[in-house]
Amino acid sequence: MLSYGFVKVHRDPKKEMRTLRTPTPQRVQLPQGAVEQKMLAYARAELPDKVLNHSLRVYCYAVAIMRDQFPEWDLDLGVLFSTSLLHDIGTTAKNMHATKMLFEFYGGWVAHAKVMEETADRDYADAVAEAVIRHQDLGDSGFITSLGLILQIATIMDNVGKHMEMIHPETVHHANAAYPRDGWLGCFAAAIDRENEMKPWGHTSALGVPDFRDAVLGNKTVYSKM
């Protein structure tokens, strides 16, 4: 159960981290197991290239931050990989039009079904779905799974440039060289606008309309060495 992230951690990264450890340069490799390969093939088929690359950067950041800042965690890298790949599955045109549910919630549902199909492991599917559903549920009160927290940290890092002190610049550079941003912020800002337009009742609105979109477009973080 620990390896699926079902442990109670603070939703506030600073409370959970206690002291910031000096980050180390890392070149994160993708896992090569059979389930991971199937998940990657599915993500490649379903996600636009920009979203796929964002998802792979999120995985790289998450692994590096976990090793640097939360070394005591026992989170399975395959579970983290599937979660990273599936976290934005709700934003595809097909899935946006398939439902009136918020993209994170519907994405969690789709992700649950996909993990069940590939693994028949309900705890694995529950862990992924829970993290996907809560990945934009940012805040400083209460608790979340460790898988959910690392997904929140890594996604907001790639989108808004938050928490950069937790990761070594070389690690960020390697991830961005391997999986280029290629206009990612504009793509994500458009996805936020689409969600707020199609599901104005959705959770994305809790991050501020249009403040969240503006914060994404105003992100001046340097992710790659030129």
38 burial type by CB count under 10 A (0-12 exposed, 13-18 middle, 19+ buried): middle
Please tell me the distance from the alpha carbon of residue 17 to that of residue 9, in angstroms, as a whole number.
Answer: 10
DSSP 20: P
For Zn ion, the closer CB: 152 or 155:
155
Q: Is 16 in the site for Zn ion (CB under 5 A)?
A: no
Q: Of 4 and 61, which CB lies nearer to Zn ion in the complex structure?
A: 61
Within positions 41 to 100, which residues make up the interface with Zn ion, using CB under 5 A? 88
Which positions from 167 through 206 interact with Zn ion, judged by CB under 5 A? none
Nearest to 158 by CA among 64, 83, 54, 49: 54
Determine which residue in the list 3, 53, 136, 155 makes contact with Zn ion, applying CB under 5 A. 155
CB atoms within 10 A of CB 103: 26
The least distance separating Zn ion from the CB of residue 18, rounded to whole angstroms, comes to: 27
Least distance to Zn ion, CB of residue 212, Å: 12
Minimum CB separation from Zn ion for residue 136, in Å? 8
Cα distance between the two ends of the chain: 42
Q: Residue 95 is encoded by which pair of tokens? A: 């899935």
Q: How far is the CB of 172 from Zn ion (least distance, A)?
A: 16
Smallest separation (angstroms) from Zn ion to the CB of 120: 27
Q: Which is nearer to Zn ion, 156 or 166 (CB)?
A: 156
CA distances from residue 159 to 73, 119, 182 in whole angstroms, order as listed = 25, 30, 13
| Size of site (CB under 5 A) for Zn ion | 2
Q: Which is nearer to Zn ion, 3 or 28 (CB)?
A: 28
Is the CB of 88 or the CB of 195 nearer to Zn ion?
88
Nearest CB to Zn ion, comparing residues 25 and 139: 139
Query: How near is the Cβ of 131 to Zn ion at its closest, in Å?
Result: 12
From residue 102, give the alpha-carbon distance in Å to each of 77, 99, 109, 180, 184.
Answer: 27, 8, 11, 27, 21
Q: Residue numbers of the site for Zn ion (CB under 5 A)?
A: 88, 155
